[in-house]
Structure 1
């Protein structure tokens, strides 16, 4: 998914000091696009936290009535230095990219695209979709993999049922389930359904930090209540993630965790790099490819099959990056 904000700012993403307790983060609403601007709720990055492990971007959207908003129609756009992780609850999205991948994103099946040195892709909700509901997530690649070759994978995890909890592990390992999808740093990603009154404890690496994003209902993370669209952050040091549904309806949530990246990265628009100069260079190359002036070995390539023009990059800010407090 693209970041379609026109007033895009560069952000230096880094870990923040932890107080040892659960931090509760709200979301801000951002228009994604479409004829009437489908809204999404963005919980990462934000002022109080920009990374959870290597997870660096989280958009949570829907249930969205496609007839009212026009659904998702994101033209071809570039990425560098990251992996996109698409997870749907309802609906269907058509994915096309510049390495020739053509796939449908469906509920219960993760689609992971590795940008590495550079890739372009488009995302369009299919005509039969009536309600669109899901999450679009990004993972920062470590410096050692920043220029990895682009790739695309899909995986449909089998559900693990424990009492009133159903878990689908789409990245990493927990509750005895392991995803085969490749990541470049230790990560975990899972969807959990919790029936009213149900609880579950996930096993994780003690060095992981963890985010819990609530999609439906209300849950407690280590005794701290998280409500709809809130993201709860658990710092490293625990080997368990204890979750309980304290509400009267089913709860659905995403668990996103990983080993702290330990590196500073800069995100601007859809690019992730290590310096201001990286971002300037990526933008220059994308704009050059749009003008048909690409070199013999273009960084981003062409998305075949999309009916429309690619997205031009926004203007860069007039000043260099300044670290966020």
Structure 2
């Protein structure tokens, strides 16, 4: 998915520090901001990462949460070919279907419970369009920043259908990493976890987690308590490093659904602007010029049919944005 903000902010994300928790972890509540994604009538998304309060959770550097979206009202998703560098995109749906095409030659459908992961280290371009049979679109679009040793990784695309795993009080699908005895075979470039968890009504679930990870709990449906903090729908609860257990409680009378994101604190400074993850302002300038000049860095997306063949890059900011630091975990 593209960041379609016409005036994207340049974000410099500095290395996070690691702090041990002497007692139960505190939960930082991150509220989303509404962003129009595009389409004929601007499909809205709720963005929780990046924010002023926190830029990354592990390597997770971008999280858009959308729907349930009536495509007859918003026009659905129609994102023309656009570029990426220095990241992996993770597409995860609850409802609906999206057609994915990229400059690697991949042509795939994103369906509920199936993960599509695209790697665009050196550079890649792709398009995303909700299919004609989709009446309701509902899901999350996530980005992973690639660490220095992999930030120039070649184009790649993986499709994975994680099994549904039942534990006491919940059912989950682990699409990346390892949780509750389930492990994804998909390769990642830094230690992390990504999972959908559906909590039974009134259930409390205790999950063994890596104490070296920081975690984010994004509530899609219901009211969920993380440790001693209650999160409403679309809020993201951040839990820092140092805890070996994550306690989730469904406070409602119906099922509650969350997306769990976690990983070791990302110990590198990155610059994010538009659809690029880079290491400096100068790199962003270069990437933008190469996209506008239709460089081979990004390749061509075949088969996309839309009002415009590709997304133009926004105008660069006139000044640099000062580095942002994540608060201590």
Bin of the TM-score, shorter chain as denominator length: over 0.9
- CA distances 1:286-305 after superposition (whole Å, capped 9, x unpaired): 0000xxxx4xxx10000000
The number of equivalent residue pairs is: 318
Structure 2 length-normalised TM: 0.94
- CA distances 1:113-156 after superposition (whole Å, capped 9, x unpaired): 01010000000000000000000000000011110111000101
Structure 2 residues not aligned, in runs of 5+: none
Q: Which of 124-133 and 7-16 deviates more?
A: 7-16
Q: What is the 5 A alignment of 1:214-253?
A: 214-253=219-258
Which residue of 1 is the match for residue 99 of structure 2? 94
Name the SS for the 2:88 alignment partner: strand
CA distance in structure 2 between the partners assigned to 1:45 and 1:127 by the alignment: 31
Which residue of 1 is the match for residue 320 of structure 2? 320
Structure 1 residues not aligned, in runs of 5+: none
The alpha-carbon deviation at position 206 of structure 1 amounts to 1.0
State whether residues 10 and 321 of structure 1, in contact with CA within 8 Å, keep that contact through their aligned partners in structure 2: yes
CA distance in structure 2 between the partners assigned to 1:217 and 1:15 by the alignment: 33
State whether residues 14 and 324 of structure 2, in contact with CA within 8 Å, keep that contact through their aligned partners in structure 1: no
The alpha-carbon deviation at position 15 of structure 1 amounts to 5.1
Bigger RCO (CA 8 Å, 6+ sep): 2
The alpha-carbon deviation at position 214 of structure 1 amounts to 0.1
- CA distances 1:142-175 after superposition (whole Å, capped 9, x unpaired): 0111101110001011111113300100000010
CA distance in structure 2 between the partners assigned to 1:15 and 1:273 by the alignment: 14
State whether residues 16 and 267 of structure 2, in contact with CA within 8 Å, keep that contact through their aligned partners in structure 1: no
Name the SS for the 2:291 alignment partner: helix
Q: What is the 5 A alignment of 1:200-211?
A: 200-211=205-216
The alpha-carbon deviation at position 192 of structure 1 amounts to 0.5
CA RMSD of the aligned region, Å?
Answer: 1.2
Name the SS for the 1:286 alignment partner: helix
CA distance in structure 2 between the partners assigned to 1:236 and 1:15 by the alignment: 14
Q: Which of 15-24 and 259-268 deviates more?
A: 15-24
Q: Which of 47-56 and 198-207 deviates more?
A: 198-207
Name the SS for the 1:200 alignment partner: strand
Runs of 4+ residues deviating >6 angstroms: none
